[in-house]
Each structure stands twice: as structure tokens, then as C-alpha cells.
């Protein structure tokens, strides 16, 4: 996975990250707006323009550097702001906002797999780029569904967690991206084999 990439492959991955993560965050914004919160719109994030949603360091440079040195990449975009007090359905509405991004990446991976089966099998170049597209979106989906604050999966867990666990999750979320790095470093021996297994399983399921 992401090994022996050529310069053109790296450029393709960069473009795929921009498109996929941009759509991921845009859907967060649209779902939030649909549920009654205008915060994303007020801050110019209710748009499909990926440049409004990506962060130069955490979305582009960090994962690209990790790929180049053959370390499991972390993909983190600029979080879409929202006010949970203005969202319909309380914690369940917030959970809908949270999982909408990863579900978008899963749908993109599925769409990519259909295109792969239509044209990818007849073109080595198309097959290579479509495989990268599916791989990146599968990783976006899996990584963001990890139920650790502030990742999207934590929103779903929070909606059903007991109050004591909710308080712990809120404390963790206060550290933001640092909490992701700490957990990633401390648990890489546990998390990465699981992520890798899930990625391979979904890849085989979608691309056959």
C-alpha cells in the first residue's frame, strides 16, 4: 500500500486527497446546514471548493511525507465548524454530521471501484490511478471512523455513550489533533494492523 510510488503517482495521490477530503468536509458542512446550523455557511465552508476545506500541513504535507518514508499516513482536514446547540435532534444530529464525511469517502471508493471495473481493467494507467483513488478513500473512511475524539467516529459513539464516557471523550477532544497523534503513536502496533486488515478486506471486496 502506497509503496514504490512514482512521481506521477505521488501527484495523483495529492489530487485524490484534495478531491476526496474536500468532498468529505463539504458534506459535513451541507449536512450541518440541513440540520439547521448555519455556522459552516457563515464561515464560507458551505462549498465544494476543496481549497476551503484542506489544511496545507495536516491534509497535504503530513500524509505525503508519511507516504514517502513508508509510514502509515494520517489524513486530517480542516474541521468544519458547527454549533451543536443549533443542530436538530441533539447528539443524534451531531452523529449524523460526524459520520456523513466518512460515508462520503466510502461511497467515493465504491464509485471508484465501479469505474475500475468498467474501464480500469482495459487500461493499466487507469487501473493504477483508480486503485489509488479507492485506496485513499478507504483509508479516509476507516481512519475517520475510529471512535477517538476528535475523529468523526467519536461523534457516533458519543450519541450512544453513557455520561461518564462522554465526559472523558470531551476531555480528550480538548487536545484536538494532538490527541490523534498521541493515540496513533502509543497504539500504532494495535491500530495499524487493524486498519491495514480492514483496508485490504474492503479493497478486495470492492476491486476483487
CB neighbour list of residue 2: distance below 8 Å, 6 or more residues apart? 13, 67, 70, 73, 135
Residue from 188, 155, 7 nearest 82 by CA: 155
Instruction: Tell me the three cell numbers of residue 1.
Output: 500500500
CA 83 to chain centre: 21
Is the separation of the CB atoms in 103 and 92 below 8 Å? no
Torsion of CA 171, 177, 179, 182, to 10 degrees: -170
| Residue 25 appears among annotated catalytic residues | yes
Peptide bond into 95 cis (omega under 30): no
Active centre residues (catalytic): 25
Amino acid at each position: 500500500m502506497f509503496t514504490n510510488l512514482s512521481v506521477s503517482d505521488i501527484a495523483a495521490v495529492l489530487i485524490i486527497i484534495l478531491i476526496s477530503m474536500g468532498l468529505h468536509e463539504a458534506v459535513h458542512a451541507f449536512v450541518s446546514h440541513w440540520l439547521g446550523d448555519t455556522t459552516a455557511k457563515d464561515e464560507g465552508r458551505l462549498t465544494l471548493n476543496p481549497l476551503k476545506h484542506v489544511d496545507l500541513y495536516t491534509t497535504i504535507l503530513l500524509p505525503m511525507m508519511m507516504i514517502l518514508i513508508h509510514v502509515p499516513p494520517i489524513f486530517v482536514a480542516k474541521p468544519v465548524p458547527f454549533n451543536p446547540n443549533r443542530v436538530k435532534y441533539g447528539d443524534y444530529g451531531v452523529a449524523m454530521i460526524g459520520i456523513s464525511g466518512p460515508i462520503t469517502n466510502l461511497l467515493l471508493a465504491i464509485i471508484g471501484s465501479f469505474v475500475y471495473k468498467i474501464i480500469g481493467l482495459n487500461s493499466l494507467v487507469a487501473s493504477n490511478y483508480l486503485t489509488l483513488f479507492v485506496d485513499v478513500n478507504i483509508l479516509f473512511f476507516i481512519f475517520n471512523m475510529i471512535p477517538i475524539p476528535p475523529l468523526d467516529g467519536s461523534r457516533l459513539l458519543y450519541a450512544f455513550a453513557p455520561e461518564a464516557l462522554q465526559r472523558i471523550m470531551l476531555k480528550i477532544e480538548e487536545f484536538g489533533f494532538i490527541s490523534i497523534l498521541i493515540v496513533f503513536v502509543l497504539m500504532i502496533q494495535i491500530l495499524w494492523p487493524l486498519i491495514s486488515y480492514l483496508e485490504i478486506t474492503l479493497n478486495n471486496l470492492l476491486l476483487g
